[in-house]
């Protein structure tokens, strides 16, 4: 299977982040770029599992209360 990649596409598999991209899965949100093993096993993209800033809980507000920024006084 030949996948056409643009200049801005990732070259590493989106689920495992280790193997080169060899397959594409078309979804309602766009296109997932996968290696052969992840494509055959139906692995989800890690971006879907861990959205930006979601695992660090920084998505709601970048401003922290002043008391938390001071540290232990």
Helical spans, DSSP H, in 1-73: 36-41, 46-49, 66-70
pTM: 0.60
21-32: b (≥16 Cβ within 10 Å) or e: bbbbbeeeeeeb
Does residue 20 contact residue 35 with C-beta atoms inside 8 Å?
A: yes
Q: What is the mean pLDDT of residues 5-11?
A: 87
pLDDT tens-digit profile of 21-59? 999 999 888 889 999 999 999 988 876 666 665 555 555
For the CA atoms of 18, 21, 31, 6, what is the dihedral angle to 10 degrees? Answer: 120
pLDDT at 72: 57
For the cut 60, the answer to whether the pLDDT of residue 8 exceeds it is yes
């Amino acid at each position: 299977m030949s996948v056409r990649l643009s200049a801005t596409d990732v070259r590493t598999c989106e689920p495992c982040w280790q193997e080169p991209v060899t397959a594409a899965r078309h979804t309602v949100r766009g296109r997932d770029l996968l290696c052969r093993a992840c494509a055959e096993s139906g692995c989800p993209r890690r971006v879907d599992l861990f959205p930006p800033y979601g695992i660090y809980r920084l998505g709601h507000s970048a401003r922290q209360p002043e008391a938390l920024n001071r540290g232990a006084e």
